[in-house]
Amino acid sequence: MDLDAPLPDEELDSIEEGVEAASPGPWYVRQLDDTYAMCMVAVSTVPGGEKNQRWPDFDHGEIVAATLVQEPRYVDLADGLWDQNAQFIADARRDVPRLIAEVRRLRRLLEGSGGEHESL
């Protein structure tokens, strides 16, 4: 992937389709804990209450992703950036639609001024 190449409209449309297909936002980082998901770092569709909530005080149906599940070791990325990765995922649910809208707005401005966004 060439990050310096212009983003084709078809690729922007594909990104937007992915946003629309995903669970609705906003998403939140949650710290969950129980004997099955020890110190779980998760992304959820609802804000967390207290830190380290234990099951059954959290609903598995609210969990979008997990960046750390220590027991058993289902999810435990070697770099240890569980909290940062979870925050990135949660923020992306809000940020990606905003970035798509900004790209489209800027393209409309360029087209209105006679510029071509493909040539950027």
- DSSP string for 80-104: --HHHHHHHHHHHHHHHHHHHHHHH
Q: Does residue 120 form part of some domain?
A: no
Burial string for 37-62 (b: 16+ CB within 10 Å, else e) reads: beebbbbbbeebeeeebeeeebeeeb
Q: Does residue 53 form part of some domain?
A: yes
- The residue range of the domain holding 106 is 9-111
Pair of tokens at residue 90:
């949660």
CA distance 40 to 82: 9
Which stretches of 1-120 are assigned E, i.e. beta strand? Answer: 28-32, 40-44, 63-69, 75-76
Total domains present in the chain = 1
pLDDT at position 51: 62
Q: Does residue 48 form part of some domain?
A: yes
Q: Does residue 52 form part of some domain?
A: yes
The band of 74, judged by pLDDT with boundaries at 50, 70 and 90, is: confident
| Beta-strand pair 28-32/75-76 | unpaired
Pair of tokens at residue 13:
């449309």
Q: Does residue 43 form part of some domain?
A: yes
pTM to 2 decimal places: 0.81
> pLDDT by residue (tens digit) across 34-49?
776 677 888 999 887 6
